Structure formats: structure tokens, C-alpha cells
Structure 1
């Protein structure tokens, strides 16, 4: 079973109110979930995470958000391959999260699914 459950494309947009309807239509989503994190306005729309606001550019270096079952195998693989954890693991709005630079230089956000006991 793969540890990666979902890959979410990250898109920086000028304004959520105008971008959300387009991404809803594109992804076939009926609803969008909006929230704020670290001064950034976000909308989760199907396979897209839209970022907007004055601080959104600070988070635009991440290629994608990867939802995983467990962060531990990710941190182990990064260490073995010479990657780097840049931030976290730490609590986030959707669960434990971290930012990592892969050995090739690509930066990704990882979010761990809530554990089902």
C-alpha cells in the first residue's frame, strides 16, 4: 500500500472569489473549503489548493502538497537520500505537516492523514 494518498496541485491566484468558480468547474467540485493559515487565504477545490493574499508568494516555492498516511517514512527517505526537512513536522490546519526539500531541490509540503484508531 502506497504511503502517498493524494497529490494536491498548488496554485497562487490573485483573488479566491474569482478563481474558485473556475477551479470548481474544472475539477467537477460542487463545493470549496476555504480557510486561512499563516496569513494566507486558501481554498481546497477538488485536486487544487488555491492560495491568495499578500503572503501567498511566500508559499509558492512548493511544487505540490502530498497527503500521506505517515510522515515517518518520508523523513527516513529524505535523510537516506540527502534531502532536508525545512519545517516541521508540526501541527497544521489539516493534520501534522512538514515542508521538505528533496535531494533534487524540489520543495513539497506533506500532510499526514489523521490516524484511525
Structure 2
């Protein structure tokens, strides 16, 4: 699959997820016209389980799987208007973060495990994220792992969603967020 096909597939997934959360109708040109769902707009705060401690989320990324990072990166740098914040190798994948995109390239067998995982979700405290997952009835499926950017855990939420949580090392955090 080409990098453009992966991008189109990622956009389609985001649209489906957004449509599930919002009331959405389309006109004949398939342009989405969004309105907030009354159910989500007026959900009473009393439905929140206050015994589960919230996790401070610092940043999230949209994962894009590309076949050639060197070819794809300039496109996203131009789209975002800034150079990549991060470039590193994780296991057998080459990764670059530019804006809110995380570009992942590598052999199919090396990146296939990441395709079913949402994130990364960058958190202030990885131990709090692990506790959160446990408190909501989820499970930690991998880690903690120390990577080039900090500490990582993989989790499965009770709804079956696989999420990658990352707590950045102090130097990475200040480089990207400050």
C-alpha cells in the first residue's frame, strides 16, 4: 500500500470514529456537516466515576504508516509548517514525529504489530496511566519498556482498544512541548 493510500485509510478511520461520537450527515458531495450529538453534549457529570483517577494527557499523535520515511517526511513537514520534532528508531521501525503526526516506516513484519494500537498517548505520569488502566478493568499487555523517548506501556482497555502510553524523558518533553 502506498503512503497516500495509508493516509487516506487513516483519514477514513478518523472520520468513522468521529462519526460514531457525533451526529453526522453528509450532502451529495460527501462533505461532512458535523453537529454535536445531544447525548454527548449533555451527558451529566454525575455519570463520571470519581474513584478512578484521571490521567494528565500532554499530547496525542495520529499514526501514519509510510513505506519510505525519507520521502514522506518532507510532505508532512510542509503540511504542518515545521520540521520533525523527533526522529528515532524503535525496534525495527523508523519513526518521525511532526506536529500531531507520527510517521512509522519499516518492513511490514516490523510495523504490523503497531497497526492495531492507538496512540501514542503522551502522559505526564506513566504509573498513573497504568493504574488508570487497571482501575477501569483493562490490562497492561506490554512494558514498561524504556525507549529513545522515555517509558512505554501497551494496554488493552475494557472495550478492546489497544493503546500505547508514553511518558517522555525530561529532555524530550521540554524539546517538544516548550
Give TM-score, length-normalised by structure 1: 0.88
Displacement, 1:95? 0.5
Q: Which runs of 4+ in 1 moved over 4 A?
A: none
Residue of structure 1 in register with 2:41 after alignment: none
Matched residue of 1:96: which SS?
Answer: strand
Paired residues, number: 116
The residue correspondences of 1:1-117 to structure 2 (distance < 5 A) are 3-31=56-84, 33-54=86-107, 55-114=110-169
Is the contact made by 1:11 and 1:49 (CA closer than 8 Å) also made in structure 2?
Answer: yes
**Aligned-pair CA distance for 1:33:** 3.2
Please give the alpha-carbon distance, in whole angstroms, between the structure 2 residues aligned to 1:69 and 1:32.
Answer: 18
Greater strand share, 1 or 2? Answer: 1
Cα–Cα, structure 1 residues 2 and 85, in superposed 2: closer, same or farther, change >3 Å? closer
Q: CA RMSD in A?
A: 2.0
Q: Name the SS for the 2:150 alignment partner.
A: coil
Q: 2:13 maps to which residue? A: none
- Bigger-Rg structure (1/2): 2
**Partners in 1 of 2:71 and 2:143 — Cα distance?**
32
Could you say which structure has the greater relative contact order, defined with CA pairs below 8 angstroms and 6 or more residues apart? 1
Question: Distance between the aligned counterparts of 2:131 and 2:78, measured in 1?
Answer: 38
Please state which structure has a larger fraction of its residues in helix: 2
State the distance in 1 between where 2:153 and 2:55 align.
19
Q: Which runs of 5+ in 2 are unaligned?
A: 1-53, 172-178
Structure 2-normalised TM-score? 0.60
Runs (5+) with no aligned partner, structure 1: none
Distance 1:20 1:32, change over 3 A: farther
